[in-house]
């Protein structure tokens, strides 16, 4: 786990399931007649790390997994619900993920007959506002049995999950569950924890 300050350590930790539920509730439309201050919420920001304690960082056009140190960027991932696909059940929620500035979003595309992860110039809030499915950009966040970890499955390519290399500073890729991954990608669950939304600081 990430080393935290004393004040942060006193905060109760939420499960992946609770964090996703809070995210979807935050983006739900208010009841008719409710006065709202802003018309649309900002993305929420998450710190995400794999089972080997390597943080997911968006560097340039790549999503990397790297050890966290004092010289590392904060590594926040912008997240919004995919309201078209929504919450499939208590442990499965469809989301979009992208850069902190909201200008580029993670996408799954087919290259040479294999699914590949790419960061493309699609605004994350534009995807949220679309009235049709955006399967290439959507990931199913699935809570593991222990609820402290989760996995991210591509909606466009069922059975393919975000996966990290056992080596540091390597790109995050996609691999099939239960299949020995090609190259150096190792499939496994990814832990994550909610960061205070920047709009609420």
CATH code (residue 53): 2.80.10.50
Question: Residue 170: inside a domain, yes or no?
Answer: yes
- Residue that wins the pLDDT comparison between 152 and 31: 152
Would you place residue 11 in the very low, low, confident or very high pLDDT band (cuts 50, 70, 90)? very low
Question: Residue 1: inside a domain, yes or no?
Answer: no
In the 3-class helix/strand/coil scheme, how is the chain assigned residue by residue? CCCCCHHHHCCCCCCHHHHHHHHHHHHCCCCCCCCCCCCCCCCEEEEEEECCCEEEEEECCEEEEEECCCCCCCCEEEEEECCCCCEEECCEEEEEEECCCCCCEEEEEEECCEEEEEEECCCHHHHHHCCCCCHHHCEEEEECCCCCCEEEEECCCCCEEEEECCCCCEECEEEECCCCCCCCCECCCEEEEEECCHHHC
Question: Residue 161: inside a domain, yes or no?
Answer: yes
Residue 58, pLDDT score: 83
Question: How many folded domains does the chain comprise?
Answer: 1
Question: Residue 45: inside a domain, yes or no?
Answer: yes
Question: Residue 117: inside a domain, yes or no?
Answer: yes
Q: Which two tokens stand for residue 128?
A: 């949220």
Rounded to an integer, the average pLDDT of 147-166 is 85
Rounded to an integer, the average pLDDT of 76-89 is 88
What predicted TM-score, i.e. pTM, was given to this entire model? Answer: 0.78
Residue 139, pLDDT score: 95
Using the predicted structure, report yes or no on whether residue 143 has a pLDDT greater than 90: no
Domain span at residue 121 reads: 6-195
Residue 187, pLDDT score: 37
Question: Residue 186: inside a domain, yes or no?
Answer: yes
Mean of the per-residue pLDDT values of the chain:
76
């Amino acid at each position: 786990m990430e080393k935290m300050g004393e004040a942060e350590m006193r905060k109760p930790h939420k499960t992946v399931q609770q964090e996703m539920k809070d995210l979807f509730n935050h983006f739900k439309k208010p009841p008719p007649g409710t006065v709202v201050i802003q018309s649309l919420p900002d993305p929420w920001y998450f710190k995400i790390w794999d089972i080997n304690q390597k943080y997911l960082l968006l560097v340039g056009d790549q999503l990397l997994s790297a050890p966290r140190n004092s010289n590392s960027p904060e590594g926040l991932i912008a997240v919004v619900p995919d309201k078209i696909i929504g919450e499939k059940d208590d442990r499965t929620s469809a989301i979009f993920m992208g850069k902190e500035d909201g200008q580029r979003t993670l996408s799954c595309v087919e290259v040479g007959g294999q699914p590949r992860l790419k960061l493309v110039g699609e605004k994350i809030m534009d995807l949220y506002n679309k009235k049709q499915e955006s399967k290439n950009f959507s990931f199913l966040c699935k809570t593991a049995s222990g609820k402290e970890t989760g996995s991210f499955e591509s909606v466009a390519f069922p059975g393919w999950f975000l996966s990290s290399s056992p080596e540091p500073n390597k790109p995050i890729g996609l691999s099939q569950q239960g299949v020995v991954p090609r190259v150096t990608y190792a499939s496994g669950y990814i832990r994550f924890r909610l960061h205070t939304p920047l709009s609420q600081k």
